Amino acid sequence: MAPSALIEDLRADVAILGGGITGLWLLAHLRGRGYSAVLCEGRALGAGQTLASQGIIHGGIKYALTGTLSEASRALAHMPARWRACLRGETAPDLRGARLLSSHQYLVSGSRLTGFFASRLLQGRVSPVGAGQIPESFAAALGASARGGVYQLDEPVVDVRSVIAELGRAHAEALLEVDPEGTRLIHDAGDVTGLEVRARDGRRLRILSERVVLCAGAGNEALGRLLPSGAAPMQRRPLCMVMLRGALPALYAHWLGTAASPRVTVTSHHDAQGTPVWYVGGEVAESGVDREPEAQVRRARDELSRVLPGVDLSACAGAVLAVDRAEGRHASGKRPDGPVLARTGAVTQVWPTKLAFAPRVAEQVEAQLAGAGTRPGRCPMPCTEGWPRPALAPLPWDEVRAWC
Protein backbone atom coordinates (compact mmCIF):
# COMPACT_ATOMS: atom_id res chain seq x y z
CA MET A 1 0.00 0.00 0.00
CA ALA A 2 1.38 3.46 -0.89
CA PRO A 3 2.24 5.77 2.02
CA SER A 4 -0.39 8.29 0.87
CA ALA A 5 -3.10 5.65 1.36
CA LEU A 6 -2.25 4.99 5.00
CA ILE A 7 -4.56 6.78 7.42
CA GLU A 8 -3.97 6.99 11.15
CA ASP A 9 -6.66 8.06 13.60
CA LEU A 10 -6.20 10.53 16.44
CA ARG A 11 -8.83 11.70 18.91
CA ALA A 12 -8.94 15.14 20.51
CA ASP A 13 -11.48 17.43 22.12
CA VAL A 14 -10.55 20.31 19.80
CA ALA A 15 -8.72 20.59 16.48
CA ILE A 16 -7.30 24.02 15.60
CA LEU A 17 -6.31 25.12 12.11
CA GLY A 18 -3.84 28.00 11.96
CA GLY A 19 -0.58 28.60 13.85
CA GLY A 20 -0.64 32.36 14.28
CA ILE A 21 -1.02 34.18 17.58
CA THR A 22 -4.72 33.32 17.89
CA GLY A 23 -4.38 29.60 17.23
CA LEU A 24 -1.32 29.18 19.45
CA TRP A 25 -2.80 31.20 22.32
CA LEU A 26 -6.02 29.20 22.05
CA LEU A 27 -4.05 25.93 22.07
CA ALA A 28 -2.18 26.97 25.21
CA HIS A 29 -5.36 28.17 26.91
CA LEU A 30 -7.38 25.03 26.17
CA ARG A 31 -4.60 22.62 27.11
CA GLY A 32 -4.12 24.56 30.33
CA ARG A 33 -7.82 24.00 31.07
CA GLY A 34 -7.50 20.26 30.54
CA TYR A 35 -8.79 19.97 26.98
CA SER A 36 -6.94 17.70 24.59
CA ALA A 37 -6.19 19.84 21.56
CA VAL A 38 -3.97 19.78 18.49
CA LEU A 39 -3.02 22.55 16.09
CA CYS A 40 -2.39 22.13 12.35
CA GLU A 41 -0.29 24.65 10.40
CA GLY A 42 0.23 24.58 6.65
CA ARG A 43 3.05 27.13 6.35
CA ALA A 44 5.12 28.13 9.39
CA LEU A 45 4.22 29.37 12.86
CA GLY A 46 3.39 33.07 12.76
CA ALA A 47 3.47 33.30 8.96
CA GLY A 48 1.24 36.00 7.49
CA GLN A 49 -0.63 38.54 9.60
CA THR A 50 0.91 37.62 12.95
CA LEU A 51 4.55 38.39 12.12
CA ALA A 52 3.45 41.29 9.90
CA SER A 53 2.14 43.06 13.01
CA GLN A 54 4.15 45.70 14.85
CA GLY A 55 3.82 43.91 18.18
CA ILE A 56 1.82 46.70 19.82
CA ILE A 57 -0.49 45.52 22.60
CA HIS A 58 -3.11 48.18 22.06
CA GLY A 59 -5.03 49.55 24.99
CA GLY A 60 -7.45 51.37 22.70
CA ILE A 61 -6.08 54.89 23.08
CA LYS A 62 -5.72 55.56 19.37
CA TYR A 63 -9.38 54.65 18.92
CA ALA A 64 -10.38 57.28 21.48
CA LEU A 65 -8.75 60.23 19.76
CA THR A 66 -12.07 61.57 18.50
CA GLY A 67 -12.66 62.69 22.09
CA THR A 68 -15.00 59.85 23.02
CA LEU A 69 -14.32 56.27 24.03
CA SER A 70 -15.34 53.98 21.18
CA GLU A 71 -16.38 50.37 21.61
CA ALA A 72 -12.96 49.35 20.28
CA SER A 73 -11.24 51.49 22.91
CA ARG A 74 -13.32 49.98 25.71
CA ALA A 75 -12.76 46.43 24.45
CA LEU A 76 -8.98 46.87 24.33
CA ALA A 77 -8.62 48.69 27.65
CA HIS A 78 -7.70 45.62 29.71
CA MET A 79 -5.48 43.88 27.17
CA PRO A 80 -2.12 45.48 28.14
CA ALA A 81 -2.51 44.38 31.77
CA ARG A 82 -3.44 40.87 30.66
CA TRP A 83 -0.38 40.57 28.43
CA ARG A 84 1.93 42.04 31.08
CA ALA A 85 0.77 39.40 33.56
CA CYS A 86 1.67 36.66 31.05
CA LEU A 87 5.04 38.26 30.29
CA ARG A 88 5.79 38.23 34.04
CA GLY A 89 4.67 34.60 34.37
CA GLU A 90 1.84 35.54 36.73
CA THR A 91 -0.88 33.96 34.63
CA ALA A 92 -1.15 31.46 31.80
CA PRO A 93 0.21 31.22 29.25
CA ASP A 94 3.65 31.79 30.75
CA LEU A 95 5.49 34.15 28.39
CA ARG A 96 8.53 34.92 30.51
CA GLY A 97 10.69 33.59 27.68
CA ALA A 98 9.30 36.17 25.23
CA ARG A 99 10.94 39.57 24.69
CA LEU A 100 9.36 42.84 25.73
CA LEU A 101 10.70 45.48 23.32
CA SER A 102 9.23 48.44 25.17
CA SER A 103 7.10 48.77 28.29
CA HIS A 104 5.14 51.62 26.72
CA GLN A 105 4.64 53.73 23.62
CA TYR A 106 4.75 57.46 23.12
CA LEU A 107 2.16 59.56 21.35
CA VAL A 108 3.34 62.82 19.82
CA SER A 109 0.66 65.37 19.09
CA GLY A 110 0.66 68.48 16.93
CA SER A 111 -2.09 69.95 19.11
CA ARG A 112 -2.80 69.89 22.80
CA LEU A 113 -4.92 66.98 23.98
CA THR A 114 -4.29 67.53 27.68
CA GLY A 115 -7.94 67.97 28.68
CA PHE A 116 -9.12 64.81 26.99
CA PHE A 117 -6.19 62.69 28.17
CA ALA A 118 -6.73 63.94 31.71
CA SER A 119 -10.32 62.67 31.69
CA ARG A 120 -11.33 60.14 34.33
CA LEU A 121 -11.96 57.47 31.70
CA LEU A 122 -8.35 57.56 30.49
CA GLN A 123 -6.57 57.99 33.81
CA GLY A 124 -3.83 55.40 34.19
CA ARG A 125 -3.73 54.74 30.45
CA VAL A 126 -2.14 58.01 29.31
CA SER A 127 0.24 60.40 31.05
CA PRO A 128 1.88 63.61 29.79
CA VAL A 129 5.66 63.60 29.47
CA GLY A 130 7.51 66.78 30.39
CA ALA A 131 10.33 68.06 28.20
CA GLY A 132 12.91 66.95 30.76
CA GLN A 133 11.43 63.44 31.00
CA ILE A 134 11.73 62.51 27.32
CA PRO A 135 14.63 60.09 26.76
CA GLU A 136 17.63 61.92 25.35
CA SER A 137 17.77 60.02 22.05
CA PHE A 138 14.04 60.55 21.46
CA ALA A 139 14.24 64.25 22.32
CA ALA A 140 17.15 64.68 19.89
CA ALA A 141 15.19 62.90 17.15
CA LEU A 142 12.07 64.99 17.76
CA GLY A 143 13.81 68.35 17.70
CA ALA A 144 11.14 71.06 17.81
CA SER A 145 8.52 68.95 16.04
CA ALA A 146 6.48 68.02 19.15
CA ARG A 147 4.77 71.36 19.63
CA GLY A 148 1.54 69.92 21.00
CA GLY A 149 3.06 67.59 23.54
CA VAL A 150 4.33 64.09 24.18
CA TYR A 151 2.29 61.48 26.04
CA GLN A 152 3.17 58.05 27.38
CA LEU A 153 0.69 55.29 26.57
CA ASP A 154 0.25 52.19 28.70
CA GLU A 155 0.74 49.98 25.64
CA PRO A 156 3.68 47.56 25.65
CA VAL A 157 5.40 46.40 22.47
CA VAL A 158 6.44 42.76 22.22
CA ASP A 159 8.78 40.86 19.94
CA VAL A 160 6.01 38.87 18.28
CA ARG A 161 8.31 36.17 16.94
CA SER A 162 9.59 35.44 20.45
CA VAL A 163 5.99 35.14 21.69
CA ILE A 164 5.20 32.67 18.91
CA ALA A 165 8.41 30.75 19.65
CA GLU A 166 7.56 30.52 23.34
CA LEU A 167 4.00 29.31 22.75
CA GLY A 168 5.23 26.82 20.15
CA ARG A 169 8.00 25.51 22.41
CA ALA A 170 5.63 24.95 25.32
CA HIS A 171 3.18 22.94 23.21
CA ALA A 172 5.42 21.43 20.52
CA GLU A 173 3.96 17.94 20.95
CA ALA A 174 0.51 19.27 19.93
CA LEU A 175 1.71 20.96 16.71
CA LEU A 176 1.31 19.30 13.32
CA GLU A 177 2.81 20.51 10.06
CA VAL A 178 0.36 19.73 7.26
CA ASP A 179 0.05 20.19 3.53
CA PRO A 180 -2.68 22.85 3.11
CA GLU A 181 -3.76 21.22 -0.16
CA GLY A 182 -4.44 17.98 1.69
CA THR A 183 -6.71 19.33 4.44
CA ARG A 184 -10.42 18.59 4.51
CA LEU A 185 -13.26 18.50 7.00
CA ILE A 186 -14.73 15.13 7.97
CA HIS A 187 -18.53 15.01 7.72
CA ASP A 188 -20.93 12.52 9.24
CA ALA A 189 -24.64 12.92 8.47
CA GLY A 190 -24.10 16.60 7.74
CA ASP A 191 -22.14 17.30 10.92
CA VAL A 192 -18.42 18.10 11.01
CA THR A 193 -16.69 15.49 13.16
CA GLY A 194 -13.05 16.40 12.63
CA LEU A 195 -10.29 16.95 10.11
CA GLU A 196 -8.33 14.86 7.71
CA VAL A 197 -4.83 16.22 7.08
CA ARG A 198 -1.85 15.15 5.02
CA ALA A 199 1.85 15.51 5.73
CA ARG A 200 4.14 16.63 2.93
CA ASP A 201 5.55 13.09 2.73
CA GLY A 202 2.09 11.76 1.90
CA ARG A 203 1.08 10.35 5.28
CA ARG A 204 -2.50 11.07 6.27
CA LEU A 205 -4.07 11.60 9.66
CA ARG A 206 -7.71 11.64 10.65
CA ILE A 207 -8.32 13.90 13.66
CA LEU A 208 -11.67 13.03 15.22
CA SER A 209 -12.71 15.93 17.43
CA GLU A 210 -15.79 17.39 19.06
CA ARG A 211 -14.92 20.90 17.86
CA VAL A 212 -12.92 22.44 15.01
CA VAL A 213 -11.68 26.03 15.29
CA LEU A 214 -10.45 27.88 12.20
CA CYS A 215 -7.80 30.46 13.14
CA ALA A 216 -6.10 30.79 9.75
CA GLY A 217 -6.67 34.50 9.11
CA ALA A 218 -7.18 35.02 5.38
CA GLY A 219 -7.05 31.24 5.04
CA ASN A 220 -10.39 30.98 6.85
CA GLU A 221 -12.08 32.04 3.62
CA ALA A 222 -11.01 28.92 1.71
CA LEU A 223 -11.36 26.63 4.73
CA GLY A 224 -14.84 27.98 5.41
CA ARG A 225 -15.95 26.96 1.94
CA LEU A 226 -15.54 23.36 3.09
CA LEU A 227 -18.47 23.89 5.48
CA PRO A 228 -21.95 22.83 4.33
CA SER A 229 -23.18 26.39 4.95
CA GLY A 230 -20.09 28.02 3.43
CA ALA A 231 -17.63 30.50 4.89
CA ALA A 232 -18.67 33.26 7.26
CA PRO A 233 -18.37 36.72 5.63
CA MET A 234 -14.81 38.03 5.69
CA GLN A 235 -13.23 41.32 4.65
CA ARG A 236 -9.69 42.35 3.78
CA ARG A 237 -8.23 45.76 4.59
CA PRO A 238 -4.83 46.10 2.92
CA LEU A 239 -1.76 47.93 4.17
CA CYS A 240 1.62 48.71 2.66
CA MET A 241 4.03 48.72 5.60
CA VAL A 242 7.49 50.26 5.24
CA MET A 243 10.79 48.95 6.63
CA LEU A 244 13.84 51.18 7.03
CA ARG A 245 17.19 49.62 7.92
CA GLY A 246 20.26 51.46 9.15
CA ALA A 247 21.82 53.30 12.10
CA LEU A 248 18.54 54.19 13.78
CA PRO A 249 17.63 54.91 17.42
CA ALA A 250 15.08 52.73 19.19
CA LEU A 251 11.64 54.38 18.95
CA TYR A 252 8.12 53.22 19.77
CA ALA A 253 5.66 55.97 19.00
CA HIS A 254 2.57 57.27 17.21
CA TRP A 255 2.45 60.73 15.63
CA LEU A 256 -0.87 62.48 15.18
CA GLY A 257 -1.70 64.70 12.24
CA THR A 258 -4.81 66.76 11.69
CA ALA A 259 -7.01 63.65 11.73
CA ALA A 260 -7.83 61.82 14.94
CA SER A 261 -5.75 58.78 13.95
CA PRO A 262 -2.00 58.13 13.80
CA ARG A 263 -0.27 59.85 10.91
CA VAL A 264 2.64 57.45 11.32
CA THR A 265 3.54 54.71 13.82
CA VAL A 266 7.10 53.47 14.34
CA THR A 267 8.32 50.37 16.15
CA SER A 268 11.97 49.32 16.36
CA HIS A 269 13.46 45.89 15.72
CA HIS A 270 16.70 44.23 14.57
CA ASP A 271 17.37 42.02 11.59
CA ALA A 272 19.24 38.72 11.74
CA GLN A 273 22.58 40.56 11.50
CA GLY A 274 21.71 42.88 14.38
CA THR A 275 21.07 45.97 12.23
CA PRO A 276 18.29 48.26 13.52
CA VAL A 277 15.04 48.24 11.53
CA TRP A 278 12.17 50.69 11.80
CA TYR A 279 8.80 49.18 10.96
CA VAL A 280 6.46 51.96 9.86
CA GLY A 281 2.66 51.90 9.85
CA GLY A 282 -0.20 54.30 10.41
CA GLU A 283 -1.91 56.42 7.77
CA VAL A 284 1.15 56.23 5.54
CA ALA A 285 0.66 52.45 5.32
CA GLU A 286 -3.09 52.65 4.79
CA SER A 287 -2.83 55.22 1.99
CA GLY A 288 0.16 53.52 0.34
CA VAL A 289 -1.44 50.35 -1.01
CA ASP A 290 -1.55 51.68 -4.58
CA ARG A 291 1.93 53.23 -4.61
CA GLU A 292 4.94 51.63 -6.22
CA PRO A 293 7.42 50.33 -3.60
CA GLU A 294 10.01 53.06 -4.24
CA ALA A 295 7.34 55.77 -4.05
CA GLN A 296 5.97 54.32 -0.81
CA VAL A 297 9.44 54.27 0.76
CA ARG A 298 9.97 57.91 -0.30
CA ARG A 299 6.62 58.88 1.20
CA ALA A 300 7.50 57.25 4.51
CA ARG A 301 10.91 58.95 4.54
CA ASP A 302 9.26 62.32 3.91
CA GLU A 303 6.75 61.81 6.72
CA LEU A 304 9.43 60.67 9.15
CA SER A 305 11.72 63.55 8.24
CA ARG A 306 8.94 65.97 9.19
CA VAL A 307 8.18 64.39 12.56
CA LEU A 308 11.77 63.36 13.36
CA PRO A 309 13.95 66.15 11.96
CA GLY A 310 16.84 65.07 14.18
CA VAL A 311 17.26 61.69 12.43
CA ASP A 312 19.26 61.41 9.21
CA LEU A 313 17.50 58.82 7.03
CA SER A 314 19.57 59.41 3.90
CA ALA A 315 21.75 56.32 4.37
CA CYS A 316 18.89 53.99 5.37
CA ALA A 317 17.74 51.24 3.03
CA GLY A 318 14.01 50.79 2.53
CA ALA A 319 11.54 48.07 1.58
CA VAL A 320 7.80 47.49 1.75
CA LEU A 321 5.54 44.70 2.94
CA ALA A 322 2.02 44.26 1.57
CA VAL A 323 -0.31 43.06 4.33
CA ASP A 324 -3.89 41.87 4.01
CA ARG A 325 -5.71 42.39 7.30
CA ALA A 326 -8.29 39.61 7.22
CA GLU A 327 -11.24 40.28 9.52
CA GLY A 328 -14.79 39.19 10.08
CA ARG A 329 -16.89 41.39 7.83
CA HIS A 330 -18.26 44.63 9.28
CA ALA A 331 -21.38 46.14 7.70
CA SER A 332 -19.52 49.39 7.01
CA GLY A 333 -16.36 47.68 5.76
CA LYS A 334 -14.47 49.30 8.63
CA ARG A 335 -12.48 47.53 11.34
CA PRO A 336 -14.67 45.51 13.75
CA ASP A 337 -14.58 46.74 17.35
CA GLY A 338 -13.48 43.37 18.67
CA PRO A 339 -12.85 39.75 17.73
CA VAL A 340 -15.32 38.07 15.38
CA LEU A 341 -16.37 34.47 16.05
CA ALA A 342 -18.78 32.72 13.70
CA ARG A 343 -20.07 29.32 14.78
CA THR A 344 -21.60 26.78 12.42
CA GLY A 345 -22.41 23.51 14.17
CA ALA A 346 -19.16 22.07 15.51
CA VAL A 347 -16.98 24.59 13.66
CA THR A 348 -16.00 28.08 14.82
CA GLN A 349 -14.32 30.56 12.47
CA VAL A 350 -12.25 33.17 14.31
CA TRP A 351 -10.78 36.53 13.35
CA PRO A 352 -9.08 38.30 16.29
CA THR A 353 -9.07 41.79 14.65
CA LYS A 354 -6.06 42.78 16.78
CA LEU A 355 -3.01 40.90 18.07
CA ALA A 356 -3.87 42.18 21.55
CA PHE A 357 -7.20 40.33 21.51
CA ALA A 358 -5.67 36.81 21.48
CA PRO A 359 -6.43 36.20 25.20
CA ARG A 360 -10.01 37.37 24.77
CA VAL A 361 -10.57 35.09 21.77
CA ALA A 362 -9.35 32.08 23.77
CA GLU A 363 -11.82 32.83 26.55
CA GLN A 364 -14.67 33.31 24.09
CA VAL A 365 -13.95 29.99 22.37
CA GLU A 366 -13.79 28.23 25.75
CA ALA A 367 -17.17 29.74 26.63
CA GLN A 368 -18.57 28.40 23.35
CA LEU A 369 -17.22 24.94 24.15
CA ALA A 370 -18.82 24.98 27.58
CA GLY A 371 -22.09 26.24 26.12
CA ALA A 372 -22.12 23.38 23.62
CA GLY A 373 -21.44 20.81 26.34
CA THR A 374 -17.85 20.10 25.31
CA ARG A 375 -16.06 19.40 28.57
CA PRO A 376 -12.31 18.90 29.09
CA GLY A 377 -10.86 15.47 29.67
CA ARG A 378 -13.12 13.40 27.45
CA CYS A 379 -10.14 12.50 25.27
CA PRO A 380 -6.61 11.85 26.55
CA MET A 381 -3.88 14.15 25.29
CA PRO A 382 -3.13 12.72 21.83
CA CYS A 383 0.23 11.24 20.90
CA THR A 384 1.63 12.81 17.73
CA GLU A 385 5.15 11.41 17.96
CA GLY A 386 6.78 11.07 14.55
CA TRP A 387 4.58 13.64 12.83
CA PRO A 388 6.48 16.66 11.39
CA ARG A 389 6.38 19.91 13.38
CA PRO A 390 5.93 23.33 11.77
CA ALA A 391 8.95 25.64 11.70
CA LEU A 392 8.98 29.21 13.01
CA ALA A 393 8.42 31.77 10.25
CA PRO A 394 11.10 34.44 9.66
CA LEU A 395 10.53 38.14 10.30
CA PRO A 396 9.51 40.28 7.30
CA TRP A 397 12.78 42.24 7.16
CA ASP A 398 14.79 39.02 7.05
CA GLU A 399 12.97 38.00 3.87
CA VAL A 400 13.61 41.18 1.86
CA ARG A 401 15.54 40.30 -1.28
CA ALA A 402 16.23 43.82 -2.54
CA TRP A 403 16.34 46.99 -0.43
CA CYS A 404 15.99 50.36 -2.12
Q: Assess contact for 299 and 291: CB atoms under 8 A.
A: yes
Give CA separation, 253 vs 32, 131, 155, 160, in Å: 35, 16, 10, 17
pLDDT at 124: 60
**Identity of residue 268:** S
**CB neighbours of residue 314 within 10 Å:** 8
Output the CA angle 217-176-329, nearest 5 degrees.
Answer: 10
* Residue ranges of domains in the chain: 3-49+163-234+330-394
Domain 3-49+163-234+330-394: assigned CATH number = 3.50.50.60
pLDDT one digit per residue (tens) for the chain, 404 residues: 344 445 789 999 999 999 999 999 999 999 999 999 999 999 999 999 999 999 999 998 776 665 666 677 788 989 999 999 999 999 999 999 999 999 999 999 876 555 555 454 455 678 888 888 999 999 999 987 776 789 899 999 999 999 999 999 999 999 999 999 999 999 988 889 999 999 999 999 999 999 999 999 999 998 888 887 777 899 999 999 999 999 999 999 999 876 656 899 999 999 999 999 999 999 999 999 999 999 999 999 999 999 999 999 999 999 999 999 999 998 777 888 899 999 999 999 999 999 999 999 999 999 999 999 999 988 888 889 899 999 999 999 999 999 99
The predicted model scores a pTM of 0.94
- How many Cβ atoms are within 10 Å of 258's Cβ, its own excluded? 7
Q: Which residues of 370-404 are buried (b: 16+ CB within 10 A; e: fewer)?
A: eeeebebeebebbebeebeebebbebbbeebeeee
Helix axis angle for 21-32 and 358-371, nearest 10°, is 50
Length of the chain (residues):
404
